A and B are shown apart, each in its own frame.
Chain A
């Protein structure tokens, strides 16, 4: 409880009024949003149960079928630290690579980078910066301030947001980012991945809930929500856990 109080106190903002978080127009949303699906990496990495390689491959294939344009497939961090991703090479070899879909991999060090054998990624450099609210403590005002500062240096077209839902703020924060012109959002199917800093807390924003909001806003994502729900149901069953997606909970009549 004491830790929580400290965290919450740090997050108190001194904003005079709500005008500070109103954007010029709540209409100016991007016409299209690219969703970067991180469930197979960020999601599974933070799950207690380790899923077998064929299950990971099947999940990624189902996510490809759902039309997600970018699917973070795995991570090349040392398996000593992230055992869930130890089968990274096997996963990359096993998945179906759909044309038009990107399958980035997390490579935090040179060794991992060599293992990934993606010369193309090296020559491209970093084409996109994904700004993460790693412990999910952000709120829309903070998101707005942070993006304003970053957009001064980096064009908004090269930015993505990666909001964690630890305090239930992910979708509201994402909405603010969209209002500021960000058009790439990271999310995780079924909201996979808890928070390693708060046991029992949730982690990633559920892709299904994000797609639901974007559809309602008339923003094109290219994602088939029904197929996405199927992928979510599949991986939850494999992990023997409940989904964190509210859309999935609502549409699954028990």
Chain B
């Protein structure tokens, strides 16, 4: 994906429709493509912050946190992993070391009344270690929740999970963290995202992460898809009679806009079906 100009990030019209989170960017060069997120301050300052919409930013350490606050961030997130190998390769430290850093960040955030969201990667599998035990996911989730994260987003980072592994993982985590404080972040690398999300919903989870147009591939499997498309998720939730407060047509417009801007075809099936009908 080429570098998206800041002006494009400002215009992304999904700001007009979301009542929940819109993850803007991160304050570190590391986990994500540094070039893509380098203009975080400019983006934060440039966007229209709608009332009722939250704009969390990723802050892996205290330095990033302070920069985020200076740029006007009102919510932050920290990114941990349930796999030691993934933690070391992705953020260059062990799980324990990362938790210590996050404690500092979350403590500072709470001191300033800034809510903090915790993410756990590799909850259903790791590109380096393979299987990850539900117990390990629970341990990391409990730690993040205990330090003050108001919500823990459980990520199937390489999209290898299936409804069975999702269920087992959630059963374990829900023993230590209440379902109201949990979210799922399913990748669609193997086409399992919506089925996994349905399973999570059936178990009482009601916060779901997704990406407009299913933007973002998978860095571990070139050519593979990545995030679940927000449009397809909303289509399912609407069909289930669940109120999201999101206008699917406007999401589709936003998706159409960003796909044209980055010269990519949408990964959303709803968009493919609707724009060509």
Contacts and interface: CB of A to CB of B under 8 A. Distances in A.
Interface of A: 1, 3-5, 7-8, 11-18, 20-23, 26, 136, 138-142, 165-169, 171-172, 174-176, 195, 197-202, 206, 209, 212-213, 215-218, 245-247, 249-254
A26 B195 contact: no
A5 B273 contact: no
B191 A18 contact: no
A246 B195 contact: no
Contacts of A216: 161-165, 192
A93 B204 CA distance: 53
Contact of A167 (B195, B235, B240, B242): B235
B47 interface: no
Contact of A22 (B190, B202, B223, B270): B202
B236 A139 contact: yes
Contacts of A11: 238-239
Interface stretch (B35-43, B100-108, B224-232): B224-232
B239 A140 contact: yes
Interface residues on B, range: 35 or more
Nearest to B248: A8
24 contacts: A3-B277, A4-B273, A4-B277, A11-B239, A15-B241, A17-B241, A18-B201, A18-B240, A139-B235, A139-B239, A140-B198, A140-B236, A141-B241, A167-B270, A168-B270, A169-B235, A171-B194, A172-B194, A198-B272, A200-B272, A201-B276, A212-B162, A246-B188, A250-B225
B225 A254 contact: no
Given A13-B240, A200-B276, 6 more contacts: A5-B249, A139-B239, A140-B236, A167-B269, A172-B195, A212-B192
B167 interface: yes
A48 B275 CA distance: 19
Contact of A169 (B159, B164, B239, B275): B239
Contacts of A14: 241
| Top-5 shortest CB links A-B | A139-B239, A216-B162, A15-B241, A246-B191, A168-B269
Given A139-B236, A171-B191, A201 B241 contact: no
A200 B236 CA distance: 20
B194 A201 contact: no
Interface string B182-202: 000000111110110111011
Contacts of B93: none
A198 to B, nearest CB: 4
Given A209-B191, A254-B222, A202 B269 contact: yes
Nearest to A136: B273
B162 to A, nearest CB: 3
Contact of A20 (B190, B241, B270): B241
B77 interface: no
Of residues B167, B221, B249, B272, which shows the largest number of chain A Cβ atoms within 10 Å of its Cβ? B272
Interface string B233-247: 001101111100000
A175 B232 CA distance: 16
B272 A202 contact: yes
A112 B161 CA distance: 44
B225 A246 contact: yes
Contacts of B189: 246, 250
B179 to A, nearest CB: 12
Contacts of B229: 168
Contacts of B248: 8
Given A13-B241, A246-B225, A4 B274 contact: yes
Interface in B147-186: 159, 161-165, 167
Contact of A18 (B218, B235, B242, B275): B242
A251 B224 CA distance: 8
Contacts of A213: 162-163, 191-192, 195
A249 B232 CA distance: 19
A246 B193 CA distance: 11
A91 B134 CA distance: 49
Contacts of B191: 171, 206, 209, 212-213, 245-247
A22 B273 CA distance: 28
Interface string B126-144: 0000000000000000000
Nearest to B231: A168
A168 B232 contact: yes
Contact of B240 (A21, A249, A252, A254): A21
Contacts of A17: 241
